[in-house]
């Protein structure tokens, strides 16, 4: 990096509850800020990242959409206990599989939805208000997910693969993101190129 490299300070605030599960896990509500968020699981006195996401709207608004997709079987559903041990064990495989296997989902719906509720209650959410500039949000999200995929087990085991990501384009100058959090976020370095 040269002297001209832009450095962004990112403060990860949390953990917060998945909206609607505050009475289950006794965590505070997600603040109504836009930006980047991390879906994590408790892991060894810290948090293991499952996914990074972005929104230009308040995070709780985006999470209402996520909740709907989970309840419709559109997303992957993990065994919470296994995830908290750094093991990826799917209860239901969402995405393309879910679209092609609706009968299977309907036949197992009560079991899958119970696992969804456990997963949503078990998520610990971290948010960073870095504004709403789309390319910045996309670059941060992509850098985090790509970095996790290159980490050793279990940091690379639990996150979903195959997300549609938009990392830095070749004609965009690199930037650095300095990550700060009061909590231990496993797999997320103090400094990451975006």
pLDDT in tens, 91-104: 999 988 888 889 99
61 occurs within a structural domain: yes
What is the rounded average pLDDT of the residues 14-30? 97
DSSP 14: E
Contact 43, 30 (CB under 8 A): no
Does residue 142 lie within any of the structural domains?
A: yes
Residues in the chain: 194
User: Is the whole-model pTM more than 0.75?
Assistant: yes
pLDDT of residue 3: 58
Domain that holds residue 66: 6-193
* Residue 2: predicted pLDDT: 52
Rounded to 5°, angle at Cα 47 from 79 and 125:
80
Which of 176, 183, 186, 187 lies closest to 10 in space, CA to CA? Answer: 176
Q: Could you tell me if residue 135 is inside a domain? A: yes
Does any domain span residue 85?
A: yes
Q: What is the DSSP string of 36-69?
A: EEEEEEEETTEEEEEEEEEESS-HHHHHHHHHHH
pLDDT at residue 135 is higher than 60: yes
Q: How many Å apart are CA 79 and CA 52, to the nearest integer? A: 19
Does residue 1 belong to any structural domain of this protein?
no
Tokens representing 21 are 């599960």
Residue 110, burial from CB neighbour count under 10 angstroms (0-12, 13-18, 19+): exposed
Number of domains within the chain: 1
Alpha helices in the chain, H assignment, sequence order: 22-25, 59-71, 80-83, 95-100, 102-107, 109-122, 134-149
């Amino acid at each position: 990096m040269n002297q001209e490299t832009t450095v962004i300070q990112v403060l990860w605030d949390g953990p917060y509850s998945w909206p609607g599960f505050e009475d289950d896990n006794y965590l505070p509500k997600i603040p109504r800020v836009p930006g980047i968020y991390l879906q994590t699981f408790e892991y060894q006195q810290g948090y293991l990242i499952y996914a990074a996401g972005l929104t230009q709207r308040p995070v709780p608004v985006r999470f209402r959409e996520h909740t709907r997709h989970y309840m419709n079987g559109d997303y992957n559903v993990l065994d919470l206990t296994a995830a908290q041990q750094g093991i990826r064990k799917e209860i239901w495989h969402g995405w393309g599989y879910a679209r092609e296997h609706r009968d299977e989902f309907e036949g197992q719906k009560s079991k899958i939805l119970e696992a969804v509720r456990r997963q949503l209650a078990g998520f610990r959410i971290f948010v960073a208000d870095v504004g709403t500039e789309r390319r910045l949000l996309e670059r941060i999200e992509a850098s985090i997910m790509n970095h996790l995929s290159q980490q050793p087990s279990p940091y690379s085991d639990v996150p979903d693969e195959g997300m549609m990501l938009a990392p830095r384009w070749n004609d965009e100058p690199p930037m650095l993101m300095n990550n700060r959090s009061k909590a231990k976020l496993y797999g997320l370095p103090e400094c990451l190129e975006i």
